[in-house]
C-alpha cells in the first residue's frame, strides 16, 4: 500500500497536478492581492491629494484645516471652502431617507418572505430586484421631472415657495426610493434564513403569527436587516449624480427646512469637476476624505445600535 502511494507521488501525473494546483493558487492569491491593493492605492491617493491644500507651501495658498472642517460657507468664487454645513446636510438627507425607507423596506420584506402567497411574493421580489438595477442617472431624471414637481405643488399648497421643487425634501424622497431595494433585498434574504423551528416554538407557545413575525422573525433576522440599512445608508451618502440634479447646491447652511435647497458632499465633489483646476479641484479630494469618514462613523454607529437592540430583549 505504502509503496503504491509513494509510486503515485513520484509519478508525472501527480506532479503535474500539484503544479496545476500551485499555479491556480498563485493566480487566486494575485487577484486577491490586486483587489486589496486597489483599496490601498485609492485611499493613499485620495489622502495625499486631499490633505495637500492644508500643508504649508501648497502652491495655491495653504488652507486652514479647522476652518475647512467646521466652515458654514462654500463659495469657490470667494475662495471660501467650508464643509461643516455640508456634512450636516449630508447626514440629514441620508438619515432622513433611511427613516422613510427603512420601515417600508422591512415591512415589505416581511410580507414577501413570510406572508404573501408564493406567486405574489415572486412577482414582488422581481420588482424589488428591478428597482435595484435602475441606474442612478435614470432615478435622477425621474426625480428632476416628477419628485420636484410634487414637492413644488406640495409647497404651493402650504404656500411655501420652493426653487422649482429642488429641495432637501426632494433629495430625501429620491434617496429613500433609491435605497429601498437595497434594504429590502437584504432583509428578505435574512428573514428567509430564520430557522423554522423557532417560529414553530413561538407559535406553539401561543403567540399569534403577527407576534411571531415581529418578535421572533424580525429580531432573529436583525443582523441581515441592519446590514441592509448600512448598505442603503452608504448608497444614500455616496449618491452623486441623481442628488446633484435636485439638491440646488446651496452656498451656505446647514439646511433644516425641508423645502429649502441643500448641498451634499457628493454634489459638491461632482459639480463642475471636469472644468476646474487648482485649489477648487484639489479641495474635492478633501471633501472625499470627509465623506469616507462620515460613512465610516455612521456605519459604526448603526452597528452599535444593532447590538443594543439585541441585548435589551
Partner 1 sequence: MKKSLAIVAVLIAVLLTGCTPKEVKTTGNISVYTRDASSGTRTAFFEFISVVEATPLTASAIEVTSAADMATKVSADENGIGYTNMEIAAANPSLLALSYNGVAASETNVLNGTYKLARPFNLVTRATGTFSSPEQEQIVLAFVDFLMNSTEGQEVVTSKGGIVEAGKDTAWDTLKAKYPLLAGDVSTYTIKTGGSTSVDSSVKAALEAFQALTGVKFEMNHTGSSDGFKRTLGADKDSVNAVDVGFASRAFKAEETVALGIVSGAYCVDAIVVVVNAKNTVLTDATTEMIHNIYTGVTKTWDELAK
Residue from 51, 121, 132, 149 touching partner 1 (CB under 8 A): that is 149
Contacts with 71 (C-beta within 8 Å, 6 or more apart), sequence order:
80, 81, 82, 83, 84, 85
Strand partners, 234: none
Location of C-alpha cell 502511494: 5
164 forms part of the interface with partner 1 (CB under 8 A): yes
> C-beta of 270: minimal distance to partner 1 in Å?
8
CA gap 207, 186 in Å, rounded: 26
3-state class (DSSP) for residue 45: helix
133 forms part of the interface with partner 1 (CB under 8 A): no
What part of residues 207-236 is at the interface with partner 1 (CB under 8 A)? none
> C-beta of 258: minimal distance to partner 1 in Å?
15
140 forms part of the interface with partner 1 (CB under 8 A): no
Q: Name the nearest CA neighbour of 74 among 82, 66, 64.
A: 82
> C-beta of 276: minimal distance to partner 1 in Å?
4
Q: How far is CA 108 from the centre of its chain?
A: 19
Residue from 76, 189, 219, 299 touching partner 1 (CB under 8 A): that is 76
H helical segments located in 193-217: 196-204, 209-211
In the chain, DSSP assigns E strands to: 74-75, 80-81
161 forms part of the interface with partner 1 (CB under 8 A): yes
- Segment interacting with partner 1, rule: CB under 8 A, options 5-13, 154-162, 194-202, 215-223: 154-162
> C-beta of 66: minimal distance to partner 1 in Å?
22
CA gap 244, 141 in Å, rounded: 11
Cell of residue 146, nine digits: 416628477
> C-beta of 153: minimal distance to partner 1 in Å?
4
DSSP string, 217-285: IHHHTHHHHHHHHHHHHHHHHH--HHHHHHSB--SB-----TTS-B--HHHHHHTTGGG--THHHHHHH
Residue from 75, 129, 193, 214 touching partner 1 (CB under 8 A): that is 75
Residue from 10, 78, 133, 311 touching partner 1 (CB under 8 A): that is 78
116 forms part of the interface with partner 1 (CB under 8 A): no
Per-residue contact flags (x/-) with partner 1 for residues 9 to 48, judged by CB under 8 A: ----------------------------------------
CA gap 159, 41 in Å, rounded: 51
CA gap 239, 39 in Å, rounded: 19
Per-residue contact flags (x/-) with partner 1 for residues 237 to 256, judged by CB under 8 A: -------xx--xxxxx----
271 forms part of the interface with partner 1 (CB under 8 A): yes
278 vs 310 by CB, closer to partner 1: 278
91 forms part of the interface with partner 1 (CB under 8 A): no
161 vs 312 by CB, closer to partner 1: 161
Eight-class DSSP state of 76: G
By CB under 8 A, name the binding residues for partner 1. 73, 75-78, 144, 146, 148-150, 152-154, 156-157, 161, 163-166, 244-245, 248-252, 261, 270-272, 275-276, 280
Amino acid at each position: 500500500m505504502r509503496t503504491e502511494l509513494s509510486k503515485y507521488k513520484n509519478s508525472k501525473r501527480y506532479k503535474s497536478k500539484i503544479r496545476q494546483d500551485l499555479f491556480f493558487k498563485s493566480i487566486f492569491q494575485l487577484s486577491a492581492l490586486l483587489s486589496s491593493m486597489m483599496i490601498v492605492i485609492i485611499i493613499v491617493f485620495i489622502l495625499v491629494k486631499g490633505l495637500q491644500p492644508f500643508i504649508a507651501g501648497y502652491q495655491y495658498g495653504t488652507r486652514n484645516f479647522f476652518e475647512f472642517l467646521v466652515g458654514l460657507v462654500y463659495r469657490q468664487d470667494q475662495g471660501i471652502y467650508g464643509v461643516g454645513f455640508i456634512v450636516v446636510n449630508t447626514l440629514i438627507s441620508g438619515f432622513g431617507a433611511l427613516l422613510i425607507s427603512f420601515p417600508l423596506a422591512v415591512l415589505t420584506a416581511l410580507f414577501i418572505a413570510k406572508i404573501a402567497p408564493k406567486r405574489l411574493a415572486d412577482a414582488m421580489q422581481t420588482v424589488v430586484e428591478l428597482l435595484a438595477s435602475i441606474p442612478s442617472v435614470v432615478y435622477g431624471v425621474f426625480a428632476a421631472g416628477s419628485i420636484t414637481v410634487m414637492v413644488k405643488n406640495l409647497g404651493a399648497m402650504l404656500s411655501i415657495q420652493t426653487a422649482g421643487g429642488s429641495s432637501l425634501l426632494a433629495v430625501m424622497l429620491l434617496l429613500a426610493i433609491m435605497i429601498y431595494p437595497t434594504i429590502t433585498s437584504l432583509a428578505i434574504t435574512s428573514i428567509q434564513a430564520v430557522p423554522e423551528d423557532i417560529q414553530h416554538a413561538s407559535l406553539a407557545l401561543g403567540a399569534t403569527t403577527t407576534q411571531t413575525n415581529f418578535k421572533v422573525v424580525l429580531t432573529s433576522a436583525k443582523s441581515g436587516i441592519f446590514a441592509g440599512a448600512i448598505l442603503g445608508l452608504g448608497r444614500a451618502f455616496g449618491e452623486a449624480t441623481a442628488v446633484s440634479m435636485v439638491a440646488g447646491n446651496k452656498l451656505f447652511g446647514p439646511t433644516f427646512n425641508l423645502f429649502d435647497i441643500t448641498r451634499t458632499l457628493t454634489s459638491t465633489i461632482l459639480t463642475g469637476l471636469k472644468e476646474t483646476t487648482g485649489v477648487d479641484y484639489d479641495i474635492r479630494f478633501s471633501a472625499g476624505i470627509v465623506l469616507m469618514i462620515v460613512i465610516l462613523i455612521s456605519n459604526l454607529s448603526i452597528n452599535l445600535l444593532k447590538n443594543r437592540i439585541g441585548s435589551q430583549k
